[in-house]
Amino acid sequence: MLKREDVEVKLKVPIAYQKMIDLLSKLTADLSDLLGTVDRVIRSFGEFNAASMRSEIRRSREVKREIESLKSDLIDYISKAAPALYAREEWMRILSKLSGMSDKAMGIMYRVEQLLVNKWEIPEDVQGQLSKLSESVVEMLGECKSAVSLIGINPDRALEACKRVELIEKRTDELYRRANFLIIRSSASFREILLLKDIAEMLEEISDTMESIVDDVRVILMGLA
């Protein structure tokens, strides 16, 4: 979340940068919505059935379409603004990685749907650990979103957000390892285990992607220094 002091120290960045940051901020807001839904369906798995999950997936698809629309706008903008845009490759990488994260989020939603369609259960201890993992990923995205949004406003605070992303990623790695071990040792069927492992791995991949994004943010910040 942006604070008053962030606005007060706002840099006079080139218009090309500011529009890029604004569009990316909108995209990360949609991604936050999508990952928030993922977190909710994992945390409240027992409250869903196949029909209610399909409703959640329909809404998530709408969010995903909005993300793809923003991605298209950003690609078009980058191609036109390229001469005035420092670290063009880093901007493109951030965009590609954010879009890839939304693909992973939808992949998780479809796997949860399969668990519900087949009336399979998630062992209580596994669900608890997956909930911790998804919560950590959502927290990490909040810091990643701050890092991107603060690029043209407060570089120091953007760097602080980058560091927090890396700290949360280390914790997320440990949560993933615990979840993976619990899944393997669970009494779930082989097919259930495959789906649950996919969910855990996709959450971990989203986490790894965000850690990679902050490296790109640092390169961009160096160009603004």
Q: What is the 3-state secondary structure (H, E, C) of 150-219?
A: CCCCCHHHHHHHHHHHHHHHHHHHHHHHHHHHHHHHCCCCHHHHHHHHHHHHHHHHHHHHHHHHHHHHHH
The domains of the chain are located at 12-224
Q: What is the pLDDT of residue 17?
A: 75
Look at residue 61 and tell me whether its pLDDT is greater than 90. yes
Q: Nearest to residue 102, comparing CAs of 49, 175, 34, 189?
A: 34
Q: What is the pLDDT of residue 83?
A: 64
- Alpha-carbon gap, residue 36 to 146, rounded angstroms: 16
Look at residue 4 and tell me whether its pLDDT is greater than 70. no
Q: What is the pLDDT of residue 80?
A: 81
Helix, strand, or coil (residue 105): helix
Q: Which of 11-20, 61-70, 97-106, 179-188 has the lowest mean pLDDT?
A: 11-20
Residue 85: pLDDT band (50, 70, 90) is confident
Q: What is the pLDDT of residue 82?
A: 63
Distances (CA, A) of 158 to 64, 161, 163, 191: 26, 5, 9, 42
- Count of residues in the chain: 225
- Alpha-carbon gap, residue 153 to 149, rounded angstroms: 8
Integer distance in angstroms from the first to the last C-alpha of the chain? 23
- Alpha-carbon gap, residue 123 to 128, rounded angstroms: 9
Look at residue 1 and tell me whether its pLDDT is greater than 90. no
Tokens encoding 106: 């939808």
**pLDDT (tens digit per residue) in 187-213:** 999 999 999 999 999 999 999 999 999
Q: What is the pLDDT of residue 222?
A: 87
Neighbour-count burial for 114-129, b at 16+ CB within 10 Å, e otherwise? bbbeeeeebbeebbeb
Distances (CA, A) of 53 to 69, 114, 130: 24, 10, 18
Look at residue 15 and tell me whether its pLDDT is greater than 80. no
Q: What is the pLDDT of residue 86?
A: 75
- 12-224, CATH topology level: Methane Monooxygenase Hydroxylase; Chain G, domain 1 (1.20.58)
Average pLDDT, rounded, for the chain: 91
Neighbour-count burial for 96-113, b at 16+ CB within 10 Å, e otherwise? ebbbebbebbbbbbebbb
The amino acid occupying position 99 is: S
Look at residue 9 and tell me whether its pLDDT is greater than 80. no
Tokens encoding 73: 């706008």
